[in-house]
Structure 1
Amino acid sequence: MTDDRISALRKAVEANPDDVLLRLVLAESLVASGETGPALDQYVVLLDQRGLPDDQLVIVGELAAANGRLALLRNCLEAARQAGIVEGTGRLQQLVDEMITARSGVKVKVGPESDDELFVTDAPRETTTFDQVGGMEEIKRVIHRMVILPLSRPELYEKYGRRSGGGVMLYGPPGCGKTLLARATAGECGLPFVNVRIEDVMDPYLGVSERNLHAAFERARANAPCVLFVDELDALAFARHKHGGSESRRLVDVLLQELDAIGSENEGLLVLAATNAPWDVDEAMLRPGRFDRVIFVPPPDEPARADILSVVLKGVPTTGLDLQELAKQTPMFSGADLRALVERSVDRVIDEALTTGAEPPLSAQHLTAALPTVKPSTLDWLHRVRSYIEFANQTERYDDVAAYLRTKDVRRRLS
């Protein structure tokens, strides 16, 4: 943290002494620069401002709990004790104790131009189940054995000294249901689902992305047992040897620490992740105890495509549709491709309705007419992964993809 930034923050706080969020940013910046005493002074001011009502104290407490600020407060208190700074720490310690007891989670986006926007993070139990996931029966069986069974039969695993939890990485072409599988896994276990998207974490301001990532894990721990799903893992954990920037390395380091539960407790926390580019994920993520269980999610096969079409067409007026035949005509289509096909077919129905004044149902004719306008998006991914498998699969980690590429239908489509 540069002196210029801290100096600018001090001036901003002096100009806006009642701005709670701005003062918290200054306090965190001071902690990051090792100026713990001045940072403590800022926290104490937040608590001891003249005329600060109780409801604002609650807001300060919630803000302090967000994005890892609870840990900063603890560190600040400890450093203050070691330095002999005692004035004001009693009320600060009381607030920390109250936050620990409440275990409330609040996500705050921090930055010079950000809004003071709070998001309550109590995670409801997921209701999606495997019945709502078309096809992929073999993958469901693998996930049930690797993920669900340890949670549904903990006594069996305890008997053999096998701990539940851990990390599972789902990978494959985009649009093939990785996120839906993760949601359904949480639903099958009857657990809350905490979804960490790239836009929820990444921030241009120094240190904020790391705090956002920590906050996501803290929210999951507060809701444990639960499923924490990290989408686009390759973006958050891009291989450090491929990236020269220190910002990316710091984010990978924080994610590793969270997975290893350094300074925290991950009991009851099941971490799932998805990526379209597993070869770009830092190797340290894939060692035992982290994302050591890797599952390939291929494009849906023919029966799965028929199931997906039935789900997508639910509620749409149709006539004379043969979903099995349509599934045969859409090899290598992802679930997203099938949805796009249905949407373009519905557009044709709407155009017809506007032209004729009638309201015709969706027919096979509409789908057949729209079929040439949608191409399977999985082919580009499969071409890329074929090159990777051919030249960079020495660890044999992606042998399941290699076996898939050797199947007759896939070879024909990629030739």
Structure 2
Amino acid sequence: MTSADPLIASLTAAVDARPDDLPLRLHLAGLLLDAGRTGEAIAHLGQALTRDPGNTGAQALMQRALGTPPAGTVPPDAGGTPGGTVTPGAGDALASSGSPDSPGDPLAAYERELADVVPPRFVRSGDEPEPVTGHADRAYDVEASTVRLADVGGMEAVKERLELAFLGPLRNPELRRMYGKSLRGGLMLYGPPGCGKTFLARAVAGEMGAKFLSLSIVDVLDMWMGNSERNLHELFQAARRNAPCVLFLDEVDALGHKRSKVTSSSMRTVGNQLLAELDGMEGSNEGVFVLAATNTPWDVDAALRRPGRLDRMVLVLPPDPEARRAILEYHLRDRPIAGIDLRKVVAATEDFSGADLAHLCETAAEFAMADSVRRGEVRMIGQGDLDRALKEVRPSTRPWLATARNVAMFANEGGVYDDLVAYLKRRRLL
């Protein structure tokens, strides 16, 4: 072992601990070059140039490592004195032989050999990917849903409504034809946030054995004029190509907001495009079943709720006691628990959404874990942790219920929200 090796080992450890310290890395690279360990030096210099491509010290050391002369000098076989100044003629020859695509480029071989370490000096046109055309231009998350309605805890009224409006006619085509029952149109799920509307939509797709495609506002909106309408059309086309398919319009109020309140002309045209797609004017919707979800159905344009569009509405309420018990069991089943009184927790979580219940279990687990860290020994999640979590976690549905109460009292034209009125009366909130 040479005298420089212990110093190199120490500097290597220091660079590993402080990888962004470029002066330290360059000092190590210089020592490695002096010790004849060129490969290791090049690796460190590549890292330095990746972080600071214009670092002249790193560039000079890299030239030394690769055996190339500094800029402004000519090699012995270039027609000049070694290390001397470039003459005009020699300079012209060097420039022509040093182009990145030239076989005479002295760095080309090293570039190929060290491509994983040193970034290339130039991006050549041949390295650029070919543009993708056709249906492969966009990536669509078309899924095969494995969720069933049996996986949804409680919510019997919602399941019954879905069965009557959607699933029953679909399963019985002969009866559907006999009674003249049409599958045209879609279904709008509405209710407080975090109550499982998306999960229900996946369960419907699973019951039907259909593909599932979720559409949200981020999939549609684009800053360039006309692109948003094209994106919306392409998403509907993807659903048509994958029929039978459940097309789920999440937060449909964002795309189909009341046009009387929309001030942006671009958003107005997006709303018109959505109406045209639902009507099947841009293509046949045979085998495409449209489900939509919103927290604020009163903000959805009335044209979207006309027959043949999203003409059926289902209220998805905060989980009932049976559903709350199922959700709590699901979120506690893989955690170490002992002495949990689920009946007490279920009774204390009225108005909690499914997301609130998940947060409650997470908070109780945090308390138990923090206590285990303090004690230095693992303990189970107990009833005390859930009681403490109940003091911190509040139901997120109550602001929505307050707004819904005003809608039910003053904006229930045509009985659109009769099911909401009935629920609020049962809860004595109206």
The alignment's TM-score, normalised by the length of structure 1, stands at: 0.70
Alignment of 1:298-317 (within 5 A): 298-317=317-336
Question: Deviation string for 1:150-191 (max 9, x for gaps)?
Answer: 222222212333232420000001011111110111111111
Q: Equivalents in 2 of 1:254, 1:267: separation in Å? A: 18
Residue aligning to 1:236: 255
Unaligned runs of 5+ in 1: 1-51, 66-104, 108-118
Q: Distance in 2 between matches of 1:319 and 1:178?
A: 32
Specify the alignment match of 1:147 in structure 2: 166
Q: CA deviation at 1:123?
A: 2.3
Residue in structure 2 matched with residue 383 of structure 1 by the alignment: 402
From 180, 187, 195, give the equivalent of 2:214: 195
Distance 1:321 1:131 in 2: 25
Please give the alpha-carbon distance, in whole angstroms, between the structure 1 residues aligned to 2:366 and 2:428: 31
Aligned pair 1:221/2:293, yes or no? no
1:86 is matched with none
**How many residues are paired up?**
304
One of 265, 271, 276 as aligned partner of 1:257: 276
Q: Judge conservation of contact 2:356–2:393 (CA < 8 Å) in 1.
A: yes
SS at 1:406's partner residue? helix
Residue of structure 2 in register with 1:72 after alignment: none
The one-letter code of the counterpart of 2:162 is I
Contact conserved, 2:256 with 2:301, CA < 8 A, in 1? Answer: yes
Q: What letter is aligned with 1:299?
A: P
Match of 1:61 among 125, 129, 133: 133
* Partner Cα separation in structure 2 for residue 106 and residue 132 of structure 1: 35
Gapped regions of structure 2 (runs ≥ 5): 1-125
Which amino acid in structure 1 is aligned with residue 175 of structure 2? Answer: L
Query: Is 1:163 equivalent to 2:182 in the alignment?
Result: yes
Are the aligned partners of 1:175 and 1:334 in contact in 2 as well (CA < 8 Å)?
Answer: yes
SS of the residue corresponding to residue 219 of structure 2 reads: helix
Query: What pairs up with 1:104-119 in 2 under 5 angstroms?
Result: 106-107=137-138, 119=139
Which residue of the partner structure matches residue 392 of structure 2? 373
Q: Which amino acid aligns with 1:274?
A: A
Encode CA deviations 1:295-335: one digit per residue, 9 max, x unaligned. Answer: 11111122221111112222112111122221101111111
> Is the alpha carbon distance of 1:122 and 1:380 closer, same or farther for their aligned partners in structure 2, counting shifts above 3 Å?
closer
How far apart in 2 are the matches of 1:153 and 1:356?
Answer: 61
1:4-403 to 2 correspondences below 5 Å: 56=130, 60-62=132-134, 65=135, 106-107=137-138, 119=139, 121=140, 123-403=142-422
Does the aligned pair in 2 maintain the 1:172–1:296 contact within 8 Å? Answer: yes
Query: What is the alpha-carbon root mean square deviation over aligned residues?
Result: 1.9
Aligned-pair CA distance for 1:410: 4.8
The structure with the largest alpha-carbon Rg is 2
> How much does 1:360 deviate?
1.5
- Give deviations 1:73-123, integer Å, cap 9, x for gaps: xxxxxxxxxxxxxxxxxxxxxxxxxxxxxxxx542xxxxxxxxxxx2x372
Q: Deviations over 1:271-308 (max 9, x none)?
A: 00000010000000000000000011111122221111
Q: Is the 8 A contact 2:247 2:290 kept in 1?
A: yes
8 Å Cα contact 2:193-2:397 kept in structure 1: yes
Displacement over 3 Å in runs of 4+: none
Does the 8 Å CA contact 1:389/1:402 hold for their aligned counterparts? Answer: yes
Q: Secondary structure at the match of 1:390?
A: helix
Contact 1:165 1:268 in 2 (8 A): no
Instruction: Work out the percentage of aligned pairs sharing the same amino acid.
Output: 45
- Note closer, same or farther for the CA distance 1:350–1:149 as it changes in structure 2 (3 Å cut): same
CA shift digits 1:53-76 (9 cap, x unpaired): xx95xx5433xx4xxxxxxxxxxx
Which amino acid is 1:209 matched to? S
Q: Secondary structure at the match of 1:163?
A: coil
TM-score, normalised by the number of residues in structure 2: 0.68
CA deviation after TM superposition for structure 1 residue 139, in Å: 0.5
Q: Distance in 1 between matches of 2:220 and 2:282?
A: 20
CA distance in 1, matches of 2:248, 2:155: 19
